[in-house]
């Protein structure tokens, strides 16, 4: 049965109303609202800091930065996306890792291509998922 939605004088009045009424009875009176949602986990992992300029020393502990390659993963389109052989600068003291600006742009381009459906992966793998049992 369709019901007419009342006019509310305050947010509190509207909250009280919805606590005792079903949204389903007023569905036809509701307006469509467009909402853009950007899930944080869909963005490349923020774990790796991008240097503003090339450095030879770790900005955290001043130890020497060495060039190395890593596999970088992040969530994209609801699944894990792995980017292999990503060049990073890693400090030899604590293992802090940094992207150069150029590498960060290249990695972001991979994720952007995936969002646009233009990514051509070199390989595809399945990923085992384990749910850790909670201690009693």
Binding residues for Zn ion, rule: CB under 5 A, are 58, 60-61, 91, 94, 96
Select 89 or 110, whichever has its Cβ closest to Zn ion: 89
Q: Which residues contact 99 (CB under 8 A, 6 or more apart)?
A: 48, 49, 50, 51, 86, 88, 89, 107
What is the C-alpha to C-alpha distance for residues 136 and 131, in angstroms, rounded to an integer?
A: 15
Select 16 or 60, whichever has its Cβ closest to Zn ion: 60
Q: How many other β-carbons are positioned within 10 Å of the β-carbon of residue 99? A: 21
Pairing between β-strand 65-76 and β-strand 97-99 as defined by DSSP bridges: unpaired
Q: How far is the CB of 94 from Zn ion (least distance, A)?
A: 4
Q: How far is the CB of 95 from Zn ion (least distance, A)?
A: 7
Select 15 or 60, whichever has its Cβ closest to Zn ion: 60
Q: How many other β-carbons are positioned within 10 Å of the β-carbon of residue 44? A: 20
Q: How far is the CB of 98 from Zn ion (least distance, A)?
A: 9
Select 49 or 60, whichever has its Cβ closest to Zn ion: 60
Q: How far is the CB of 100 from Zn ion (least distance, A)?
A: 16
- The residue written with tokens 């992040």 in the block is 74
């Amino acid at each position: 049965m369709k019901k007419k939605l009342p006019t509310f004088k305050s947010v509190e009045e509207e909250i009280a109303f919805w606590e005792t009424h079903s949204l389903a009875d007023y569905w036809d009176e509701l307006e469509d609202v467009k909402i853009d949602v950007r899930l944080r986990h869909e963005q490349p992992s923020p774990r790796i800091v991008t240097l503003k300029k090339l450095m030879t020393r770790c900005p955290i502990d001043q130890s020497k930065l060495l060039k190395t390659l890593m596999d970088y993963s992040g969530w994209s389109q609801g699944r894990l996306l792995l980017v292999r052989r990503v060049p990073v600068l890693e400090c030899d003291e604590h293992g802090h890792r940094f992207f150069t600006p150029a590498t960060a742009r290249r990695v972001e381009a991979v994720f952007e291509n995936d969002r646009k459906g233009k990514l051509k992966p070199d390989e595809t793998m399945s990923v085992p998922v384990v749910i850790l049992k909670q201690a009693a």
